[in-house]
Amino acid sequence: MKLELLDWIIIASYFVISLLIGLFYTKRAGKNISEFFVSGRNVPWWLAGTSMVATTFAADTPLAVAGLVVSNGVAGNWLWWNFVMGGMLTVFFYARLWRRSEVLTDIEFTELRYGGRPAALLRGFRALYLGLPINSIIMGWVTLAMAKILGLTMGIDRWQAIIFCFGVTAVYSLLSGLWGILVTDAFQFVWAMIGCIALAVFALDTVGGIDGLKAALEIQHPGGVEQILSMTPALNSPWMPISTFLVFISVSWWASWYPGAEPGGGGYVAQRVFAARTEKDSLLATLWFTIAHYAIRPWPWIIVALVAMVRYTKLADPETGYIKVMIDVLPFGWRGLMLAAFAAAYMSTISTHLNWGTSYLINDFYKRFLKPEASDSHYVWVSRIVTIFVMLLAGLATSQLTSIQGAWQLLLAIGAGTGPVYLLRWYWWRINAWSEISAQAAAFGSYLITQSVFHLNTDKPDEFAQSLLISVAITTTVWVIVTFITEPESDEVLEKFYRKVHPEGPGWTVIAQKLGMPPGESLWPTAFNWLCGVVLVYGALFGIGKLIFKEWLAGGSYLGIAALSGVVLLRTFKGFSVTTMPQPASEE
């Protein structure tokens, strides 16, 4: 891709602004690890929610979506669209509970909910497991995408791309902590969306608009345009087996752990919740994130992917179609803006993962097990050193990965079946530390079984669905049996957790009775709010898509349903009141 002076000025301006924001928050981040990792718990909802959206808008995401659309049609996006339902669970059932817990990381929650050596073992293991190999894989596939982009557009070698991308991002991540990351996320998200929308407009213009796109697809796939553009697969769809679709909408969203879409929340979503000012801010942040992430953001990517299907019929790597469209259709000026947009998408994700992964290693391993009595300044400096180490590991992971979509599916597969434990630990007193430990071990073991015994290829949609079902069945059976054959958590641990978090529903009635408290409130109103939220997001997602494809009646109907769901949600939402929990008398 040839760049003019204007392109370079735009790119340079983007990097200067990002670095200045990071430098501005350096002093504030250095106060203590609370400021460094959760911004002193003083973040407004709109900033926390926008940061969540920016973090999930990585350089890999448009490329992976392009690969899904080229291989499976628009409906191929149900690989991640199904997580709307899990995301809304976080909004209404879990965000406020996370905020009430007042932990620094979601792994620290382990020793609030459980007790004894099993809880300590689980906390230490998850800190290392998520902070090092899993976090490295995530950053690796994001960097792989950026390396592809720079390699195709500017002819840069992969390792040169890795060093450049990591180097720039690490500077402000090391200096500014979460405050700088949040503010740069907001700036980077706006920049990235402008670039992606502009690319979609220019791409459509080259094929004669939506009508020209449909006509070209009809020529390439006679009689198959409706199935390509359909948001749900037909029974005989060659693009996505209906069995796979049914598994996605009925099982995957609650059964699988996936970064950014953890059942019950977790990871960097939970980190933003911890940083929110109030419970209200935590709920509104996750609601805005879910709406923007699923209903608003994906359509520019999908349009470009469809244009790539028309323009490049024999791509060895479908994920590169998005980049080729960018190279071929953008005029000068817009090329620089789009490259900066990809840099923005990349940097917002990497900076978060550097900070988030380091928070596990410092708060949940180093401080918890190795050096519990050090000063705040010591922890901040060690955090910065560990951030560099995490960055180097991610660079190594990048060199070993070949497919972005494949990495997505790998994490879904090895986390299959763990979701129910993460959901129920908040609402059922009987879940214990061994429930989580056994679920994680069984999930990984069942993944190995599907590969070595059943020889299922997770790159194929139907076999991926089979692998998911087998893993969920094995994992669920194991952790349920383990839960009932091991001792429950002690009354002291359970009562402390109940007083702190005050979960609703009947699952804590036993503990409430021991405390002389009335049973928790019914969960049915919250479940109705969840349903309204799910309808709102899917209605907006489908409505926007139908209008883009000029299906006016269907588009208007979906948007009407979304609006009606929003009104019902506003009128039925029960608010943020929390029953005051009496605390035990202090000992003299």
CA neighbor of 99 nearest in space, from 46, 182, 41: 41
Looking at residues 222-247, what average pLDDT do you find? Answer: 78
352 shares its domain with 421: no
**Three-state DSSP state, 400:** helix
C-alpha distance from residue 138 to each of 86, 124, 574 (Å)? 20, 20, 37
pLDDT in tens, 28-69: 655 677 777 888 889 999 999 999 999 888 777 888 888 889
Give the residue with greater pLDDT, 133 vs 49: 49
**Cα gap 63→304, rounded to integer Å:** 10
Q: Is residue 350 part of a domain?
A: yes
422 shares its domain with 357: no
Which residue is it, tokens 């002193």?
40
43 phi and psi angles, rounded to 5 deg: -100, 130
Q: Which of 414, 432, 459 is the last residue of a domain?
A: 414
441 shares its domain with 351: no
**Cα gap 8→20, rounded to integer Å:** 18
Record the tokens describing residue 379, joined without a space: 């922890």
| Beta-bridge partner residues of 256 | 416
**Three-state DSSP state, 151:** helix
**Cα gap 355→211, rounded to integer Å:** 45
Confidence class for position 139, pLDDT limits 50, 70, 90: confident
435 shares its domain with 410: no
Q: Is residue 284 part of a domain?
A: yes
551 phi and psi angles, rounded to 5 deg: -100, 80
Q: Is residue 200 part of a domain?
A: yes
**Cα gap 104→272, rounded to integer Å:** 10
250 phi and psi angles, rounded to 5 deg: -110, -20
Confidence class for position 580, pLDDT limits 50, 70, 90: very low
Residue 17: pLDDT above 90?
A: no
315 shares its domain with 346: yes
Give the model's pLDDT for residue 276. 93
CB 94 within 8 A of CB 262: no
- Where helices occur in 25-82 by DSSP H, the ranges are 26-29, 33-38, 45-56, 60-72, 78-81
Residue 354: pLDDT above 80?
A: yes
83 shares its domain with 43: yes
CA neighbor of 554 nearest in space, from 232, 223, 300: 232
**Cα gap 581→588, rounded to integer Å:** 21
CB 106 within 8 A of CB 98: yes
Task: Of 311-320, 358-367, 504-513, give the lowest mean pLDDT range.
Answer: 311-320
CB 300 within 8 A of CB 197: yes
276 phi and psi angles, rounded to 5 deg: -65, 150
Confidence class for position 435, pLDDT limits 50, 70, 90: very high
Looking at residues 210-227, what average pLDDT do you find? Answer: 87
Residue 176 belongs to a domain with what CATH number?
A: 1.20.1730.10
409 shares its domain with 421: no
Looking at residues 512-521, what average pLDDT do you find? Answer: 83
Which residue is it, tokens 């349009």?
303
**Cα gap 258→293, rounded to integer Å:** 15
**Cα gap 220→306, rounded to integer Å:** 12
345 shares its domain with 434: no
Angle at 329 between CA 326 and CA 333, to 5 degrees: 80
Give the model's pLDDT for residue 487. 95
89 shares its domain with 196: yes
Residue 25: pLDDT above 70?
A: yes
**Cα gap 510→146, rounded to integer Å:** 52
Looking at residues 468-484, what average pLDDT do you find? Answer: 94
Record the tokens describing residue 544, joined without a space: 């926007």
| Averaged confidence pLDDT in the chain | 86
269 shares its domain with 139: yes
Task: Of 172-181, 207-216, 549-558, give the lowest mean pLDDT range.
Answer: 172-181
Looking at residues 117-122, what average pLDDT do you find? Answer: 95
Q: Which of 414, 438, 453 is the last residue of a domain?
A: 414
Q: Which of 462, 489, 516 is the last residue of a domain?
A: 489
Q: Determine whether 282 is exposed, middle or buried from the number of CB atoms within 10 Å of its CB (0-12, 13-18, 19+).
A: buried
Q: Which domain holds residue 399?
A: 5-204+252-414
**Cα gap 8→1, rounded to integer Å:** 12
